[in-house]
Structure 1
């Protein structure tokens, strides 16, 4: 998960700290390797963004002009997106431009029917009806080992009640284990391909897990934030979507196929949503730095509207959004249990559907870093896994 690359308008020098997904490497029988990527993005002046790697070496530069206009209508209903392993080569296409919250104008009242979420008056924002929402879930223990079917089932005893569960890859046999647990709770599956460069093999694992029955699959996502990170070019992702769609359709799947990226990358590269069955964008108000927890829902709605407009009015889903319960303060964004409750409540007030809450449990298998404000492990709205 990560936010768009954000800095306040009118400030000549600023540093943005996009969140970096971490994902356990492909697992062998007795050995687990972890690849952690920490990049830094530095805005040198209001119209120039220089992207640097973890060693401070510039890898690319992009320019941006006037901000996009906020559409007058909220995106229409959609259904619901995955991980990609980092590479050492930068994309052949320029990364998306930076975006500032000051670029957006106040959005009109959402066309989504607001949910009946209760006021956040306790340590939990989890009462009420969650059947219209999707929840992201990762089946890893804190030592990065794979969770067993029994462990996944135990987790789902806590998180049942959602309409759908989003996963990010095929390692750990997770398509099958999560599908089994979700199906038992009456929830659909939002499956994912981890490595766009290995799309054939990963899609085949999804096909194997389905075993001819696609009734509990809603969406298959090909890649997650790969263009925003510079791991893949737009062309690579679009090609992978085509490959995946052909394989899935040949196996009897008639559901949705998308790629997921940040709202910034989606706006800058509408080819991503044009190749997808709907626009799937991640958006985290926490990383803007100028948004409080109480205003998280309106911020995310504004960006959903911008994505929909950039994609020609295409159906749009926010495929990650949430708030950390711990970590370091980022401007007006303060991580705390109380603010996590407030943010989830705000998001639920702005959206009654078309949203993926991030994440089910604290991801203790990840590594906290300064670039993620020490909050990488603390996005679980249900706290630690049972």
Structure 2
């Protein structure tokens, strides 16, 4: 089920932090007028924002959002400070009664497990208490690898055994920059990872609660910050999230200088606008992509990557791949293979390299382009197979791309 409150437009929903230069949580707060000014700017961009707390300046955010008809993915901040947590719950309950039409959903805790501040059982207890307040949709937010319990680059899901049954939907953070992914594959990584998670958490909707690309900071592997790279990421994310009906929130609306103290230089520059509220981009392409034409018979398609291209990979030679299958039958999967000097099944993420099909979509977050020298000219093949691993169709339902040349050194 897709949450109705996500169909808000006109552009991507945004994560919002109200802190300007010289302001910070626990320090100088933004004024009501400053927050009101922000909401007036953002109302032209989106009708859905994510907030990160319910007390003090965050209560002013909810009030200002209400006056501009902006829905909120309302934050309830959790930490190891149990007294502060009680205050957050009390503040949230007050806001819920004051602005029931503004609070579209509640996110109870943000990367709390990642920081090691609370246990899954404790978070579950807070989630249940918020449910008892009469809130609508409720979630908690963690990086996708916390949900999937990443171990040695091989996800074994679900890692968080209790929370998926407690929340109404999963909020996963997916950051290609921190995973050292080149910008040409960054938005595709978000899409592929979300599809992968859906093959595991089959009974719970997956919302990408944060993703983005920084405009300053250090290069991480093949991930290069910059204004133009942020533009490329945003436009690709807009395109693919619409074509695949994947719900994402972009991090974030404005740069926040205070974050250099916790994340270094890169922490301050994820905004689509500077801390002075100056837009970084003129004329972002928000054109609505053309919906797919539905073929009359079973077909498989590779939407990313494209063939006949030179591309950088991660240090382990990996890039994401995803596509669609039309008229899929129950039990069908997509076998993914890469050709260097022979065809190699991509079995790092799925047994036998066979990706489940979810709502007509399939993905593998990492396929390996390991060819060297004359073999650095890769082909990728996607073949539809049944539950026994037998190729489907006569002729076989498959798709193939070729001419993919890796531009960097790597070690698979």
TM-score relative to the length of structure 2: 0.58
- Other-structure match for 1:340: 230
- Other-structure match for 2:217: 327
* Unmatched runs of 5 consecutive residues or more in structure 1: 1-75, 81-111, 114-128
Higher-Rg member (1/2)? 2
CA–CA distance in 2 between the matches of 1:157 and 1:269?
A: 39
For residue 356 of structure 1, give the secondary structure of its aligned residue in structure 2: strand
Report which stretch shifted further, 351-360 or 206-215: 206-215
Task: State the number of aligned residues.
Answer: 256
- Other-structure match for 2:253: 360
CA–CA distance in 1 between the matches of 2:231 and 2:207?
A: 22
CA–CA distance in 1 between the matches of 2:125 and 2:222?
A: 40
Is 1:167 aligned to residue 14 of structure 2? Answer: no
RMSD: 2.3
Report if the CA contact (8 A) 2:254-2:272 is conserved.
yes
Change (3 A) 1:313 1:349: farther
Higher relative contact order (CA 8 A, sep 6+): 1
Cα deviation, residue 313, structure 1: 3.8
CA–CA distance in 2 between the matches of 1:363 and 1:147?
A: 12
Cα deviation, residue 184, structure 1: 2.8
Matches within 5 A, 1:75-114: 77-78=2-3
CA–CA distance in 2 between the matches of 1:316 and 1:79?
A: 14
CA–CA distance in 2 between the matches of 1:350 and 1:270?
A: 30
- Other-structure match for 1:100: none
CA deviation map 1:284-335 (0-9, x unaligned)? 111111x222322110111112222322242110000000000010011000
Is 1:310 aligned to residue 196 of structure 2? Answer: no
Cα deviation, residue 205, structure 1: 0.7
CA deviation map 1:261-280 (0-9, x unaligned)? 11111122142222111011
- Other-structure match for 1:264: 145
TM-score relative to the length of structure 1: 0.62
Report if the CA contact (8 A) 1:78-1:317 is conserved.
no
Report if the CA contact (8 A) 1:142-1:364 is conserved.
yes
* Unmatched runs of 5 consecutive residues or more in structure 2: 149-158, 278-412
Report if the CA contact (8 A) 1:199-1:244 is conserved.
no
Report if the CA contact (8 A) 1:327-1:335 is conserved.
yes
CA deviation map 1:238-282 (0-9, x unaligned)? 111112211x22xxx3x1111111111112214222211101111
Report if the CA contact (8 A) 1:328-1:373 is conserved.
no
Report if the CA contact (8 A) 1:330-1:373 is conserved.
no
- Other-structure match for 1:133: 12
Matches within 5 A, 1:1-386: 77-78=2-3, 130-131=9-10, 133-143=12-22, 144=24, 145-160=28-43, 161-175=45-59, 177-196=60-79, 197=82, 198-246=84-132, 248-249=133-134, 253=135, 255-267=136-148, 268-289=159-180, 291-352=181-242, 354-367=247-260, 372=263, 374-386=265-277
Change (3 A) 1:212 1:167: closer
For residue 273 of structure 2, give the secondary structure of its aligned residue in structure 1: coil
Change (3 A) 1:286 1:367: same
